[in-house]
Structure 1
Amino acid sequence: MFERLFPRRKPEPKQLPQPNAQLALGALLVRVAFADKNYRATEIGQIDRILGQTFDLKPIEAAKLRATCEALERDAHDTPTFAKILREEVDYAHRLALGEAMWSVALADGHRHEQEEIQLLAIETALGLTDTDIEMLRTKATGTL
């Protein structure tokens, strides 16, 4: 009865920040972890470590950044848009290191998942990595030829 008299207002949606290299990287790391539809604590921890080390953040700051990146990944841009930001702001050697970091997220749960590898290939390609470097990253991460 009171619901009809005093309907609840939906909260205003939070404005997402404009993505920069930091947010684009975090969103892509989250995208890799979500690719298999199973977002595990080990993957979350790995994302936090990568963000903390890459941007010299304390654990709480890295977790807050990851939370923002989760919202951005869910509600915002597509992979090519995030990758374009990184291509424009990060040199090739560092983009190669980002590819390695993404593999560490994909394998953080101890399993290889086809969906994650497909997502990784799309991201690595969008980052402008060469086929040779993409193969080298896969081989290095998985230990397979």
Structure 2
Amino acid sequence: MLNRIMTFLQGDPEEEEIGRKDKVQLAAAALLFEAARMDEGIGPEERAVIADIVRRRFSLSEEEARSLAEAAHKETQGPAQWHRFTSTLKDRFDEAERIEMIEMLWEVVYADGHLHDLEASLLRRVGGLLYVSDRDRGAARKRVLDRMGLSDPAPDA
């Protein structure tokens, strides 16, 4: 799987068509890393949550999830590319899957137990780019807070 993702990232002309599944998985994992990066870096809690999310969501083995996470982390080094990632997901996910993506992002954002104002801003922007309504985004946030046993904290500045 890592070889297919690296081929996609390098743009090998012989293997131009990497497949819908791999592109979607990479875009989703990359967005999760973008969310983790918003509060001054990616902590070990966030890395563990990302690996667990992609393993569960895409039915991957531990090794495949680790490879995907590594590729996504490398892909997000440098300037943010939210539009590229969200465009891939918007085109390939149905409404329920886009809302699930927002839930996955909330899980990463709350991995450290705090909501930074930049994280909240990212979720608003990504929600708009994925065509997820404010109401659905808020409901997704509430479901994640309930699952994690957290109260509704105000964003940290």
Shorter chain as denominator, the TM-score bin is 0.7 to 0.9
Q: Which runs of 5+ in 1 are unaligned?
A: 1-13
Pairing of 1:23-102 with structure 2 (within 5 A): 23-75=26-78, 78-102=81-105
CA deviations over 1:82-134 (Å, ceiling 9, x no partner): 10100111101011011111101000111111111111111111111012112
Question: What's the counterpart of residue 106 of structure 2?
Answer: 103
Matched, 1:20 2:16: no
Point out the structure with max Rg over C-alpha: 1
Separation (CA, whole Å) in 2 of partners of 1:55 and 1:106:
20
CA deviations over 1:24-82 (Å, ceiling 9, x no partner): 00000000000111211110011001110111111122111111001111247621111
8 Å CA contact retained: 2:127, 2:134: no
Q: Give the number of aligned pairs.
A: 132
Candidates 95, 114, 138, aligned match of 2:117:
114
